[in-house]
């Protein structure tokens, strides 16, 4: 793309990266962000001295020397303090059985062998696969050059072997009933995700490539926004874009909610594909493929419900994440649950007052459930309160006294996320591995000078969206 002035809609990862790389390439960019903070989904919020993180479990590119780390350096997000929790997660049953997925692979192997000697061959194969995965990182190739990608080709057969197997199927390889149950859930409790993702993240954590940026997601995003400003980029907060201006089939700027128009040579949208095409372009450029995509909005919001608790309790000795199996299924929000997926932030003391901690429950939920409740503010609020009470009751056996230790709670629903980031009900798309790795921005047929970047068009997590933003403007 060759342009001298570019309007960027949204300061999410894709928009911020496009801005920084644009400024570095001598392009005059302006970012219009509707919220009062940068980061989009990569965010956190503060309540009574506690920081509730809404995003990062694992950030790729934490080790210097990797392609992703180099990108973070260029974006001003690295170097920084990175924390490496000792575990990926811990699965616990009501009977007191616990499987800890340590990031130290020797410790993990010894622990698993101790738990289930009957599974020694399967455990050894698993840990051996993890050791192999410590030697390469497929996802790092996203941020790298074609040469970097070429170097990874020899690992393709290993990746393909594990890429076809889901966590659920993988767990069936274990004979011990507890391991069979637990192993399906150890990667974000996504039993249908390919084992390859799990091996990549756990091995990457073992090798120091994946970590948690101290201070959390918003601080990480803010560092990129600061870098953008230092390069002369203009970031306007509280600036909702209402329309993309198109003249003779070319995007020539944006119109804000207050009616002002900003004319530029081209436009990059970090708003979702749906928002960009349906709202900002007024639905004028729909083709059959887009119509088909938008005809199938996805109701299921994975990790769409966050119950965050600020507690007067030291969580520093707790695992960094937990899958807590319940004695019996319990209805929470829109469905019955037999386990709780918890994040415990005791490993980052900056997120809570001294000696206290943050605990978060993440739940999958349906958009339609909250959309219906959202029509009646009282019912919506009552449901949040009921949810917190139920969650505390379920947590009590494992964390005795926690109910009395809660100093502040917060429930973020899919409606909250949409209000703050514009990311609403999803639209079924099936991002292909190849497209994800190339991280190419999407264009809209009939509109030149417009690129869409971010998760809604196949950006893979925080680094993937940043790479896509970079690809939209680097070297233009
Ligand atoms: C619970 C959760 C956990 C996650 N954990 C991880 C993790 O551990 N590791 C990882 O790599 N990734 C993780 N992700 C994914 C990651 O957060 C996203 O892939 C990434 O942040 C999305 O970036 P994006 O470029 O799509 O922009 P978005 O985050 O979608 O931001 C878009 C921005 O555009 C703004 N905007 C939208 N419309 C307009 C408009 N009309 N006018 C002006 N501004 C507008 C929004 O306010 C927002 O700031 C997680 C996501 C979630 C939800």
437: CB partners within 8 A, 6+ apart: 138, 141, 142, 149, 460
Among candidate residues 312, 305, 271, 277, the one with its CA nearest the CA of residue 291 = 277
Q: Are 318 and 334 in contact (CB under 8 A)?
A: no
Task: Say how many CA atoms lie within 13 Å of 467 toward its Cβ.
Answer: 27
| Separation of alpha carbons 98 and 248, rounded Å | 63
- Looking at the CA of residue 54, tell me the nearest atom of ligand 1: 1
Q: Separation of 12 CA from ligand 1 center, angstroms?
A: 5
Among candidate residues 96, 92, 74, the one with its CA nearest the CA of residue 17 = 74
- Looking at the CA of residue 279, tell me the nearest atom of ligand 1: 41
Lowest-pLDDT range of 8-17, 107-116, 353-362, 431-440: 431-440
Q: Are 178 and 99 in contact (CB under 8 A)?
A: yes
Q: pLDDT value at position 1?
A: 46
Tokens of 134: 């410590």
Write the secondary structure of the chain as one string of H (helix), E (strand) and C (coil).
Answer: CCCCEEEEECCEHHHHHHHHHHHHCCCEEEEECCCCCCECCCCEEEECCEEEECCCCCEECCCCCCHHHHHHHHHCCCCCCEECCCEEEEEECCCCCEEEEECCHHHHHHHHHHHCHHHHHHHHHHHHHHHHHHCCCHHHHHHCCHHHHHHHHHHHHHHHHHHCCEHHHHHCCCCCHHHHHHHCCCCCCCCCCEHHHHHHHHHHHHCCCEEEECCCHHHHHHHHHHHHHHCCCEEECCCCEEEEEEECCEEEEEEECCCCEEECCEEEECCCHHHHHHHHCCCCCCCHHHHHHHCCEECEEEEEEEEEEEECCCCCCCCCEEEEEEEEEEEECCEEEEEEEEEECCCCHHHCCCCCEEEEEEEEEEHHHHHHHCCCHHHHHHHHHHHHHHHHHHHCCCCCCHHHHEEEEEEECHHHHHHHHCCCCEECCCCCHHHHHHCCCEEECCEEEEEECCHHHCCCHHHHHHHHHHHHHCCC
Q: Is the CB of 271 under 6 A from ligand 1?
A: yes
Q: pLDDT value at position 156?
A: 80
In the chain, the N- to C-terminal Cα span, in Å, equals 5
Q: Which domains does the chain have, with CATH numbers?
A: 5-44+216-296+428-473 (3.50.50.60), 82-213 (no CATH), 297-421 (no CATH)
48 or 156, greater pLDDT: 48
- Looking at the CA of residue 306, tell me the nearest atom of ligand 1: 1
Q: pLDDT value at position 78?
A: 98
Q: Are 267 and 449 in contact (CB under 8 A)?
A: yes
Q: Is the CB of 35 under 6 A from ligand 1?
A: yes
Tokens of 17: 């990266």
Q: Is the CB of 42 under 6 A from ligand 1?
A: yes
Please tell me the residue having the least CA distance from ligand 1 atom 50: 55
Interval 233-281: pLDDT, tens? 999 999 999 999 999 999 999 999 999 999 999 999 999 999 999 999 9
pLDDT of residue 2 exceeding 60: no
Q: pLDDT value at position 431?
A: 61
- Looking at the CA of residue 58, tell me the nearest atom of ligand 1: 8
Q: Is the CB of 305 under 6 A from ligand 1?
A: no
Interval 366-415: pLDDT, tens? 999 999 999 999 999 999 999 999 999 999 999 999 999 999 999 999 99
Q: pLDDT value at position 427?
A: 72
Task: Count other Cβ atoms within 10 Å, centred on residue 303.
Answer: 17
Task: Quote the distance between the C-alpha of residue 304 and its chain's center.
Answer: 11
Q: Is the CB of 12 under 6 A from ligand 1?
A: yes
pLDDT of residue 327 exceeding 80: yes
Among candidate residues 240, 266, 242, the one with its CA nearest the CA of residue 252 = 266
Positive or negative torsion for Cα 219, 224, 225, 229: positive
Residue of 256, 461, 469, 471 to mutate, ligand 1, most atoms within 8 A of C-beta: 461
Among candidate residues 414, 8, 2, the one with its CA nearest the CA of residue 228 = 8
Task: Kindly state the average pLDDT of the residues 149-176.
Answer: 88
Please tell me the residue having the least CA distance from ligand 1 atom 14: 461
Burial label for 417, CB within 10 Å (0-12, 13-18, 19+), is buried
Q: pLDDT value at position 476?
A: 42
| Separation of alpha carbons 21 and 432, rounded Å | 25
Task: Count other Cβ atoms within 10 Å, centred on residue 393.
Answer: 11
Q: Is the CB of 27 under 6 A from ligand 1?
A: no
Tokens of 24: 């570095």
């Amino acid at each position: 793309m060759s342009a001298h002035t570019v309007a960027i809609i949204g300061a999410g990862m894709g928009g911020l990266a496009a801005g920084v790389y644009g400024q570095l390439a001598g392009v005059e960019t302006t970012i219009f962000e509707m919220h009062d903070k940068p980061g989009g989904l990569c965010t956190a919020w503060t309540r009574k001295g506690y920081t509730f993180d809404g995003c990062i479990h694992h950030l790729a590119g934490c080790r210097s020397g990797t392609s992703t780390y180099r990108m973070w350096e260029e974006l001003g997000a690295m170097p920084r303090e990175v924390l490496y929790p000792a575990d990926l997660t811990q699965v616990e049953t009501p009977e007191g059985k616990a499987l800890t997925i340590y990031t130290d692979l020797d410790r993990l192997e010894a622990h698993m062998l101790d738990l289930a000697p009957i599974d020694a061959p399967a455990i050894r194969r698993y840990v051996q696969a993890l050791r192999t995965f410590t030697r390469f990182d497929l996802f790092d190739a996203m941020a790298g050059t074609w040469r970097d990608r070429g170097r990874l080709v020899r690992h393709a057969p290993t990746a393909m072997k594990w890429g076809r197997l889901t966590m659920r199927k993988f767990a069936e390889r274990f004979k011990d009933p507890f391991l069979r149950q637990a192993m399906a859930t150890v990667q974000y409790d996504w039993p249908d995700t390919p084992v390859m993702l799990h091996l990549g993240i756990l091995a990457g954590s073992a090798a120091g490539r994946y970590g948690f940026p101290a201070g959390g997601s918003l601080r990480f995003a803010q560092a990129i926004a600061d870098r953008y400003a230092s390069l002369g980029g203009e970031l306007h907060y509280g600036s909702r874009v209402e329309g993309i201006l198109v003249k003779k089939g070319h995007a020539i700027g944006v119109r804000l909610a207050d009616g002002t128009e900003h004319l530029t040579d081209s436009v990059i949208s970090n708003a979702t594909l749906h928002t960009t095409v349906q709202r900002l372009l007024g639905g004028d450029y729909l083709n059959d493929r887009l119509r088909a995509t938008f005809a199938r909005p996805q109701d299921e919001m994975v990790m769409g419900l966050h119950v965050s608790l600020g507690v007067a309790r030291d969580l520093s000795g707790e695992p960094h994440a937990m899958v807590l199996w319940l004695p019996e299924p319990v209805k929470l929000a829109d469905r019955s649950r037999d386990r709780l997926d918890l994040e415990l932030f005791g490993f980052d003391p900056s997120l809570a007052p001294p000696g206290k901690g943050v605990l978060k429950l993440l739940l999958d939920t349906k958009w339609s459930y909250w959309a219906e409740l959202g029509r009646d503010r009282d019912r919506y609020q009552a449901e949040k309160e009921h949810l917190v009470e139920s969650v505390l009751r379920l947590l009590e056996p494992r964390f005795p006294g926690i109910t009395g230790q809660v100093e502040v709670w917060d429930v973020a629903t899919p409606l909250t996320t949409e209000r703050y980031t514009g990311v609403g009900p999803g639209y079924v798309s099936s991002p292909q591995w190849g497209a994800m790795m190339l991280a190419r921005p999407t264009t809209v047929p009939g509109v030149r000078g417009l690129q869409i970047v971010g998760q809604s068009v196949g950006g893979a997590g925080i680094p993937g969206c940043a790479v896509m933003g970079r690809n939209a403007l680097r070297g233009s």
